[in-house]
Amino acid sequence: MEDTAARFEDAVEARRFDVTYEPIVELATGARCAYEALARFHARDGARLPTGEVFAWLHADPARLAAVECDLKAEQVARAPAAPLFVNLDPDAYAIALERQLPIVAPLEAHGRRVVVEVVESARCSDAGRIRRMIRDVRERGLGVALDDLGAPNALVSLESLVQVDVLKLDRTVLAAVSDLRYRNLVACVVGLARTNGARTVLEGIETRRDLAIAEALGIDLVQGYLFRDQFVTVARASARRVPASRGTRRRRGAGSAR
């Protein structure tokens, strides 16, 4: 049986991925106001590979990580619906792409609608300073910034990032955690901070009408999740084109991020 690393390498080299656009919905009106672009990698037999694990594997090869991320951003923008677009951007890939003068941000700037770059402050990033530098850089280029996965178990949050971003995205784990009054009060403070600073809030993982009611009670601005699956848009897989590994790179499991 083919091992996991071999399946990842085969999918990346063959460029077998879909892009799924998940709608972001305004809670007050129910209107779709944006999409988030999500990469979906596939094995040779068509089985979906876990995106986070693919990126964890890619972190062992910095040059390839940057090349794949550049490729994904170009695809995600080129195939996007005519709406504001949220895209995930790996801080390590961003730093490497800048060093190698790869066009990682140019496709985002060329999109005809507003683009919001999602970043995650996590212990998995090789250099926490890279995240804050990336936030400053993309804002200087006129792109929006969202701080993703707030409340997730492995997330780290700096005060500097909280006040620099345009959107605060709360992780799906918040839905269960707010049953604790102290946690609910903390979320209320975060929502209040966003409102005071002119930022918007998003609650991820909305799957039921009950989840929607929780979001409304928390004063959340925008929501996304499987409840809106009928509005998901998945484009055809990209054509095959090899993304070569760096010469002499040894594979190991490293930091990752979901796309």
pLDDT of residue 127: 66
**If pLDDT is split at 50, 70 and 90, which confidence band does 240 have?**
very low
Mean pLDDT of 67-79: 93
Tell the burial category of 177 from Cβ atoms under 10 Å away from its Cβ (0-12, 13-18, 19+). Answer: middle
Give the pair of three-digit tokens for residue 245: 């590994």
- pLDDT score of 153 more than 90: no
Classified as helix, coil or strand, 222 is strand
- pLDDT score of 243 more than 50: no
Lowest mean pLDDT among 71-75, 77-81, 238-242, 247-251: 247-251
Query: Can you tell me the distance from the alpha carbon of 196 to that of 5, in angstroms, rounded to the nearest whole number?
Result: 46
**Positive or negative: CA dihedral 42, 173, 66, 104:** positive
Percent over 70 (pLDDT), the chain: 87
- pLDDT score of 21 more than 50: yes
Mean pLDDT of 214-242: 85
**Domains detected in the chain:** 12-226 (3.20.20.450)
Contacts of 157 (CB under 8 A, 6+ apart): 121, 147, 150
pLDDT of residue 125: 54
Percent over 90 (pLDDT), the chain: 73
Average pLDDT, the chain: 87
For 178-219, how does the pLDDT look when each residue is reduced to its tens digit (9 = 90+)?
999 999 999 999 999 999 999 999 999 999 999 999 999 999
